[in-house]
Amino acid sequence: MIKNLLVALLLVASANCFAQSKNSQYDADLAKKLGADQYGMKTYVMAFLKAGPNRLTDSAARAALQMAHLKNIMRLAAEGKLIVAGPFMDDQPIKGIFIFNVRTIEEAKTLTETDPAIKAGSLVMELHPWYGSAALMEVVGIHHKLEKKSVAD
């Protein structure tokens, strides 16, 4: 009898420990909306934007190409396909990154081919599958609340 009582108490204590290890802030609806797995993560494709073989020397042409590149970034972000984008601030061969909200390299490659800088050969992209926080899906919406002026204006 005492042995059964002790086993029952251990089971209750174990169940309580497991219940406490569960995240009390977990939001199943938000996790589903953002495509999160049980760890709050999801698969993306990361792109490293590298200097391409066709570097423009004319400053007006370079500025026009940069503006077209930025407008394409804004379009992809508005479509929910591009979650993070930005340049590196040093003078290195890797010029910036994109994080695409797609699962495959093929999908990301199709998206990169819409970029005027890629089409012109000013940039090339190196694509890698990447596993990161599903919370990144909220970045674009938050960014719009923070930007006073668009970089594409």
- The pLDDT tens digits for 112-144 are 999 999 999 999 999 999 999 999 999 988 988
Q: Which pLDDT score is estimated for 151?
A: 84
Beta pairing partners, 126: 48
CATH number where 130 lies: 3.30.70.1060
Residue range(s) defining the domain that contains residue 44: 32-146
What is the domain count for the chain? 1
Position 127 in a domain: yes
Please state, in angstroms and as integers, the Cα–Cα distance from residue 41 to each residue in 15, 112, 134, 153, following that order.
26, 24, 5, 33
The one-letter amino acid code at 40 reads: G
Distance, C-alpha 106 to centroid of its chain: 16
Element (H, E) at 28: helix 28-34
Structure confidence by residue, pLDDT tens digits, 51-89: 999 988 999 999 999 999 999 999 999 999 999 999 999
* Residue 122 counted as domain residue: yes
